């Protein structure tokens, strides 16, 4: 896998790491916001129009689902 990543990114060295779901979500959200607001950074940032929101108390992956019993 490391060799494939080197070829894909065109790098001599890569260091793949496992990150938590929360870190991955933050990185993806930040990247999406940067992409949406790449043209005009002077105006207030545009928001993402449609988002799926999972509430922890209603059975998100981090909490046991009351329906899974």
Summarize pLDDT for 22-69 with one digit per residue, the tens: 888 888 888 888 998 888 888 888 888 777 666 666 655 554 545 554
Question: To the nearest whole percent, how much of the chain has pLDDT over 70?
Answer: 74
Q: What would you report as the CA-atom Rg of the chain, rounded to the nearest whole angstrom?
A: 18
- For residue 16, CA distances in Å to 10, 13, 34, 48 come to 14, 10, 23, 29
Cβ–Cβ under 8 Å, residues 49 and 34: no
pTM value > 0.85: no
Query: Nearest 5°: phi and psi at 22?
Result: -65, -40
């Amino acid at each position: 896998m490391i060799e494939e990543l080197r070829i894909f990114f065109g790098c001599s060295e890569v260091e793949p790491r496992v990150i938590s779901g929360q870190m991955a979500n933050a990185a993806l959200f930040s990247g999406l916001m940067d992409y949406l607001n790449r043209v005009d950074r002077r105006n207030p940032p545009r928001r993402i129009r449609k988002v799926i929101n999972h509430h922890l108390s209603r059975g998100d992956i981090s909490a046991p689902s009351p329906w899974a019993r």
